[in-house]
Structure 1
Amino acid sequence: MAHRKSPARIAKDARIAHFQSLATRQAAPNAPGATLTWDAVAALEAKLVGRIVLPSSPDYNAARQESNPAFQAYPEIIVYCACEHDVLECLAVARTYNLWVAVRCGGHSTAGYSVNSGMVVDLSDLKGVVLDPPRERVHVLPGTDFDHFNGAMNHTGWHVPTGACGSVCVGGFVQGGGYGYTSRAFGIQSDLVESFRVALANGSIVTASAQENPGLYWAMRGGTGGNFGVLLQVTYRMHRLDQVWAWAISWDAAHAAEVLTTMQAHYMKTGAPDALGYMMNLGYQNSTPVYMVQGMFCGTRDEGMKAIARLMAIPSAQLLVDKTGTYPDMNIWLEDHPYTLPDNLPDGVAETKACGYISTPLSTADWQRIIDYFKTSPNPWSLAYLEPYGGAINRYPVADSAFIHRHVDADLVVDVFWTNDTERAQMEAWLDGFMNLVKPFLNGHVYQNYPDASLQDFAQAYWGPAYPQLQQVKAQYDPGNFFHFQQSVRLPQK
């Protein structure tokens, strides 16, 4: 058989040769203060199956950009890893040259923590899903986005809860908990994790499970990514779920406060069956406020209609979605039906997000004040929504993972969008006003998958009483604080 180089290897050889040629002309590959040499870059490229992107690369600006253009960082080097060995090579170089490492899967960190000014270890090419039905398990690589994850599970009869956004990847999502339409039925996604495979700062790879490295296993289920190591693989326990019923209801403005009062009383901690999952949305369609709930029921249409009967009895209720199918198919369907919210966003629009957990009953008058404030949004892109808890989420023992948000009604989330600095100041001031209005009803905690860089006491907000234990795990598995960022877990003070 003839021995021929693959096209990928030919392209890699060209990149290596280019870096080596530059070594004779420039001391460092990047701006002043850079630590890497061209020889080091060439050597790393030669060891990788993946590829390197530098500030001088043609695709650098696209590669450095997060999903939210509000965050503009300029890494010294971006490495697209294609296998576990690539990750280990990156960590070795980062240790040698004292590079600050950020780990990125989908680039959806709401505080921009997926990039930095040092080395970005990008795992988006590490994607794959392997089902093991006899053991009721599924093995997933960290760069697998939900479009691929759900697609691989589609029509198999097996299920793991995922988020609604198809471009979000497993690696970051699961380490922050992971909420989806079926979480009330099956739990936060991290509750279904049987084990993690993790690359540590010292270059070793370990398994984290209830039996092996149980402290790390506890911490990585809610402790958020980029704190303890690089996630290489997740093994989940699967559930049987052949079909779901997708549904959506809208109401007139006059009945929106009654709807929210009814939902909090009967569709969160108590009342609704676990099989019912949903999001309540306040948004704008063609610049007109929309009051809508959309969700899934893990059962038949008839059972689902019984579950939402109280909501359908509220005057002006309109059933806008009434469709049965697989979870992946219905997840896609609900992206566009009955509305796409937020609506008509321009290209390049940036986002600011804030959230908090509701654990106090609100009166109808309280909800009406929130609705009235929402209608004052300076632009027609703002979105406020409730992610209801209860069911399997609240039953999971608080102490069994670092995801502590169990005894709450719902996560209230507000997104604002802007295109320039003037509009940003205006929208963020409006957002601050919204959060001040609802503050009396919040418990002070924040969903760690929606990080907020402005939080004064982020450790208390994300992890509360679990934080000291997280610090002990940090000290055990990353004693040199190799993995760090603005809101990372701090080493305990000696």
Structure 2
Amino acid sequence: MAHRKSSARLAKDARVAHFLSLAAKQPALSAAQASAPVLTWEAVAALEARIVGRIVLPSSPDYNAARQESNPAFQSYPEIIVFCACENDVLECLAVARTYGVWVAVRCGGHSTAGYSVNSGMVVDLSDLQGVVLDPARERVHVLPGTDFDHFNGAMNHTGWHVPTGACGSVCVGGFVQGGGYGYTSRAFGIQSDLVEYFRVALANGTIVTASAQEHSDLYWALRGGTGGNFGVVLQVTYRMQRLDQVWAWAISWDAAHAAQVLTLMQAGYMKTGAPDALGYMMNLGFQNGVPVYMVQGMFCGSREDGLAAIAPLMDIPSAQLLVDKTGTYPDMNVWLEDHPYTLPDNLPDGIAETKASGYINTRLSPADWQRIIDYFKTSPNPWSLAYLEPYGGAINRYPVGDSAFVHRNVDADLVVDVFWRNPAERAQMEAWLDGFMQLVRPFLNGHVYQNYPDARLTDFASAYWGPAYPQLQRVKAAYDSGNFFHFQQSIRLP
């Protein structure tokens, strides 16, 4: 048969030739650390030739799009971005980074709320490593790290199998699972990392290991809650699937006069205790057409009749309106709830930046406490602020706290506040308002923070994210990355 180069290979040859042509004009990309060799154009060309994926540099026409995180608040300028297309591409990147002392950041979907999936060195981008393979006979599903939830859910749709995912379809598996992973069905089945059977992981020394309860069990423990970018590059995740044919999607709204009563009832009977595990939801305070709204939306892993029975006390509160009442598969209902009963934040401008803060509630609030929170929320300087509760309990809280690095088990809910801004002046205003919100609720929080919502402003981040698990995480770090090859502002420190 004819042996012809593919169009992808021709494009790659052109990129290699371009990088080599630049060597005569400027031998190195930029100055490196005094103790490290200088990353040369010849090295970049050689890396491009060896990988299936592609390299993007500051001189590339798509550089600005390639470097951008999902949140434009973060503006980093990597020296080199490598879009990996297979496992060997990752190994080639790590080898170059070791040789030339290049600082590595690992990125899947670019949703780090503190911008930690980019840096000024090399970004190893895994967004092209996508794929989902179901193994129903063994009740397992194998997923590549760059697979976003739209594709993950879509691959499992109408199969009768399920793994909890987050509500945002563009978030990818690799980062999400290493921080725990919360979603509508977590009260029924657990935090996503609780369902991991094993990981394939590329270590800093260029080897690939399998981390499970039987092999490299300490790394397996650490990857489930220890967060990405600390121990290695996750190349594949295998989950234990759960049976879930359909869910009932629901949403209720109430008038402002009853919002504190609703929140009090939810904390008393719909978090740690009271509600069936099958009931998952998020309680939202937001603005619709500039007017505050008080709305809960969620899923029930069962029949509509059983779901209605579970939320009956909420519907008995005056002014309750059932705004969503729909049955379907989890993937279909997850998409439906993105827009129904309405989208929050409402009418968010394109390109707007976001700042987030969160904390775990483990103290009972009185109706007066909830009312003070509601009253403060209404003072938001712009109509895009959003406060919401992610309830725990059920399978999340039953999972043994020492069996993984995700320690947030004995809590009622995660309270999350998002603010949005368009310019430096508005940023200062909104972040001051956010600080006031968190100061108001601090007496009710346990001091911990969900590690998938990292906050660069935290002073004692190790205690906040990992609490008593941190010393063990440090020991695992020393065992698998003794040279601190993987690091960032809030990474795990060597002991």
- Determine the structure 1 residue equivalent to 2:51: 48
2:481 corresponds to 1:461: no
SS state at 2:16 partner? helix
C-alpha displacement at 1:31, in angstroms? 7.2
Corresponding residue for residue 434 of structure 1: 437
Among 76, 90, 94, which residue is 1:73 paired with? 76
Instruction: Name the aligned partner's letter for residue 14 of structure 1.
Output: A
Asked if residue 160 in structure 1 is aligned to residue 163 in structure 2, the reply is yes
Q: Which residue in the other structure is 1:25 paired with?
A: 25
1:256 partnered with 2:259:
yes
The answer on 1:385 being equivalent to 2:393 is no
Deviation at 1:22, TM superposition (A): 1.0
Give me the identity figure in percent: 87
Moved over 3 A (4+): 30-35
Residue equivalent to 1:451: 454
Which one of 70, 76, 86 corresponds to residue 89 of structure 2?
86
User: Which amino acid letter does the alignment assign opposite residue 37 of structure 1?
Assistant: T
Q: Distance in 1 between matches of 2:31 and 2:340?
A: 48
Q: CA–CA distance in 2 between the matches of 1:35 and 1:258?
A: 63
- Superposed CA offset, 1:132-158 (max 9, x none): 000000000000000000000000000
Kept in 1: contact 2:32–2:39 (CA 8 A): no
Give the letter for the 2:422 counterpart: T
Match of 1:304?
307
Query: Scaled by the length of structure 2, what TM-score is found?
Result: 0.99
Equivalent residues, number: 492
Report the equivalent of 1:138: 141
Q: Helix, strand or coil: the match of 1:235?
A: strand
For residues 244 and 72 of structure 2, the distance between their equivalents in structure 1, rounded to whole angstroms, comes to 37
CA contact (8 A) 1:30 1:55 kept: no
Q: Are 1:199 and 1:229, in contact at CA under 8 Å, matched by a contact in 2?
A: yes
Q: Is the 8 A contact 2:286 2:345 kept in 1?
A: yes
- Of 293, 298, 302, the residue aligned with 1:290 is 293
Which of 261, 271, 274 lines up with 2:277 in the alignment?
Answer: 274
Q: Distance in 2 between matches of 1:264 and 1:31?
A: 55
1:197-346 equivalences under 5 Å are: 197-346=200-349
Quick one: which amino acid aligns to residue 160 of structure 1? V
Q: Which residue type is aligned with residue 186 of structure 1?
A: F
Residue 416 (structure 1) aligns with = 419
Selected match of 1:491 from 476, 490, 494: 494
Partner of 2:9: 9
Q: How many Å apart are 1:348 and its aligned residue?
A: 1.0
Take 1:431 and 1:182, find their aligned partners in 2: how far apart are those partners? 29
Amino acid across the alignment from 1:187: G
Report the secondary structure of 2:475's partner residue: helix
Deviations 1:148-174 (A, max 9, x none): 000000000000000000000000000
Q: Partners of 1:449 and 1:24 in 2: how far apart?
A: 44
Partner amino acid, structure 1, of 2:256? A
Question: Unaligned stretches of 5+ in structure 1?
Answer: none
Task: Look up the match of 2:153.
Answer: 150
**8 A contact 1:30–1:54 mirrored in 2:** no
- Secondary structure of 2:111's counterpart equals coil
TM-score after normalising by structure 1:
0.99
What SS does the corresponding residue of 1:308 show, helix, strand or coil? helix
Matched residue of 1:202: which SS? coil
1:476 aligns with 2:465: no
SS of 1:417's equivalent in the other structure is strand
Q: Is the contact between residue 196 and residue 217 of structure 1 (CA under 8 Å) also seen in structure 2?
A: yes
Deviation at 1:220, TM superposition (A): 0.2
2:434 and 2:189 map into 1 onto residues whose CA distance is 32
Letter of the structure 2 residue corresponding to residue 10 of structure 1: L
Cα-to-partner distance string for 1:441-465 (whole Å, 9 max, x where unaligned): 0000000000000101000000000
CA distance in 2, matches of 1:25, 1:117: 23
Could you tell me how far apart the structure 1 residues matched to 2:43 and 2:416 are?
44
- State the partner residue of 1:111: 114
Gaps of 5+ in 2: none
* Distance (whole Å) between structure 2 residues aligned to residue 385 and residue 69 of structure 1: 22
Give the distance between the partners of 2:6 and 2:299, measured in 1 at CA. Answer: 46
Question: Partner of 2:333: helix, strand, or coil?
Answer: helix
How many Å separate the matches in 1 of 2:386 and 2:25?
52
Q: Distance in 2 between matches of 1:35 and 1:237?
A: 45
Instruction: Give distance in 2, aligned partners of 1:71 and 1:121.
Output: 17
SS at match of 1:321: strand
Q: CA deviation at 1:32?
A: 8.3
**Cα distance in 2 between the residues matched to 1:297 and 1:256:** 22
Contact 2:114 2:455 in 1 (8 A): yes
The letter of the residue matching 1:390 is G
Letter in 1 for 2:378: K
